């Protein structure tokens, strides 16, 4: 982890109609850093993540990626998104493609990588996520955990500089959450820059370099996981975490 910022967000605002979702977000992500964003549902975590790769257009503010302001309307979106991998809550594997084709489609059509090379890369990443034996499987036939691991491999095939995870385990049943989190831990150890929106507090505590707590469209508190979880400054953070821990106990 270096001190070089890869993403710098300044005073980001976003509304859906009358609903003010992001109310002036400031956040900096450094290269090699693993940042977990936690907070109650509706606090704007996912919207913030989706603004970073412009799946949502923010209304005001700035997002700098490698020194380039993404709010500038002249930015080449497609070139930008190649460098930002995204993993969705609902997996969103291409239903009409096999596992291998899911992974090779974007490198071949966007980066014009030759087929053989794209397949070799895909197989390498599918090995990383432990799915090398499912290469020719129909992507709809996989379990949720397997789908999410394919989705991670698919994003890795574009060789992104940063990976965004939008509640990657929320749609999985508790028994298979582990297999996805393990893959994410491996990625973190390999030095991948990651922004993870999650409700997995144990994961956030163990893997992240920094935890960001969001509430009602603002970042209320951020810091090392030890501080945020061990000794939260804000009463709202304490309330959220305590309620969360209580729920976990039951």
For binding to another protein (CB under 8 A), which residues are involved? 53, 55, 57, 73, 75, 77-82, 84-86, 88, 90-97, 105-106, 109-111, 138, 140, 151, 154-155, 158
Name the residue nearer to another protein (CB basis): 150 or 220.
150
Q: What share of the chain is helix, strand, coil (3-state, %, to 5)?
A: 40, 25, 30
Least CB distance from residue 20 to another protein, whole Å?
19
Least CB distance from residue 234 to another protein, whole Å?
32
Least CB distance from residue 191 to another protein, whole Å?
22
100 CB burial (10 A radius; 0-12, 13-18, 19+): buried
Name the residue nearer to another protein (CB basis): 57 or 239.
57
Reference 209, options 86, 87, 36, 3; nearest CA is: 36
DSSP state at residue 8: E
Name the residue nearer to another protein (CB basis): 141 or 233.
141
Name the residue nearer to another protein (CB basis): 93 or 188.
93
Least CB distance from residue 101 to another protein, whole Å?
10
Least CB distance from residue 238 to another protein, whole Å?
35
Query: Quick one: CA torsion of 163, 122, 167, 234, rounded to 10 degrees?
Result: -30
Beta strands in the chain (DSSP E): 5-16, 19-30, 34-39, 60-65, 68-69, 84-87, 162-166, 193-197, 210-215, 218-223
Q: What is the strand order of the sheet 84-87 is part of?
A: 84-87, 162-166, 193-197, 34-39, 210-215, 218-223
Name the residue nearer to another protein (CB basis): 94 or 244.
94
Least CB distance from residue 106 to another protein, whole Å?
4
> Facing residues of 55 across strands?
none
Mind giving me the DSSP string for 144-186?
Answer: HHHHHHHHHHHHHTT--SEEEEESTTTTS-HHHHHHHHHHHHH
Name the residue nearer to another protein (CB basis): 109 or 189.
109
């Amino acid at each position: 982890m270096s001190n070089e910022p890869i993403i710098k967000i300044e005073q980001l605002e976003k509304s859906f109609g009358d609903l003010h979702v992001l109310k002036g977000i400031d956040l900096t992500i450094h290269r090699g850093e693993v940042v977990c964003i936690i907070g109650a549902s509706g606090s704007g975590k996912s919207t913030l993540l989706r603004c970073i790769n412009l799946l949502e257009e923010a209304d005001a503010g700035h997002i700098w990626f490698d020194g380039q302001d993404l709010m500038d309307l002249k930015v080449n979106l497609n070139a930008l998104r190649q460098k930002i991998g995204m993993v969705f809550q609902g997996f969103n594997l291409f239903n009409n493609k096999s596992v291998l084709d899911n992974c090779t489609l974007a490198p071949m059509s966007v980066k014009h990588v030759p087929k053989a090379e794209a397949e070799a890369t895909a197989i390498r990443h599918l090995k990383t996520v432990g799915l090398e034996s499912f290469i020719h499987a129909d992507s709809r036939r996989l379990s949720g955990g397997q789908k999410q691991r394919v989705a991670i491999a698919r994003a890795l095939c574009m060789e992104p500089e940063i990976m965004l995870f939008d509640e990657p385990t929320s749609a999985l049943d508790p028994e298979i959450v582990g297999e996805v989190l393990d893959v994410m831990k491996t990625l973190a150890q390999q030095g991948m820059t990651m922004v993870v929106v999650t409700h997995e507090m144990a994961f956030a505590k163990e893997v992240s370099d920094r935890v960001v707590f969001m509430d009602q469209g603002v970042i209320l508190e951020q810091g090392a996981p030890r501080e945020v979880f061990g000794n939260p400054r804000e009463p709202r953070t304490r309330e959220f975490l305590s309620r969360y821990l209580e729920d976990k106990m039951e």
